[in-house]
Amino acid sequence: MKRLAVYCGSASPEDPRYLELAREVGAGLAQRGIGVVYGGGRLGLMGAVASGALDVGGEVIGIIPDALAKSEVANHDCTELYTVSGMHERKQRFTDLSEGFVTIPGGVGTMDELWEAVSWAQLGYHQKPVGLLNAFGFYDHLIAFNRHMAEVGFVRPAHQGIIIAEDTLSALLDEMASYQPHTPIFQMKASDL
């Protein structure tokens, strides 16, 4: 994998572990020769991911909506910084420029990005691995909810392995590297749906 989109929060939680994790993720990807594609901001976990990668000489591509760039939160230290018209174009660029997705802790925007990556994978808009870094057990309840959706029947058996969840970046990247694409909905017969 040459580039991964990293989804994370633009907030800075009081608990310092989150910012440190974000810096470690950025640095860890760069040290493996993996470029970071991210939201283009300089605040919170977003800024920490970018700083972590840049500090060790990594490639960082930021993609920021026009409205956020105008509010002076854009990170002009990125290797490349693209300003786009809105969130839909931003997420499409994440998909176009990366070979997979890594989600670290974040809020509503992070969840929007994660679930769109999962949804697009189910449908067949991409066949890239979708990773979830469950550091500090942050995503325990989300993982349980995803399992519940599958048990009830809202996530088809063919799609239950789309989200790859691990507790460490190293384990997550190993699993993502061996990801085998599933059969997308666009290729299924009506009887399989």
Instruction: Chunk the chain into consecutive blocks of 10 residues (it has 193) and report each block's average pLDDT, rounded to whole numbers.
Output: 97 97 98 98 97 98 93 92 96 97 97 97 95 98 97 94 98 97 81 70
- What pTM was estimated for this model as a whole? 0.94
Structural domains of the chain sorted by starting position, each given as residue range(s) with its CATH number in brackets: 3-192 (3.40.50.450)
DSSP conformational letter for 158:
G
- What are the tens digits of pLDDT across the range 45-75? 999 999 999 999 999 999 999 999 888 799 9
**Cβ within 8 Å of residue 78, ≥6 positions away:** 40, 50, 54, 60, 61, 62
Q: Are 158 and 183 in contact (CB under 8 A)?
A: yes
Q: Tokens standing for 141? A: 């309840």
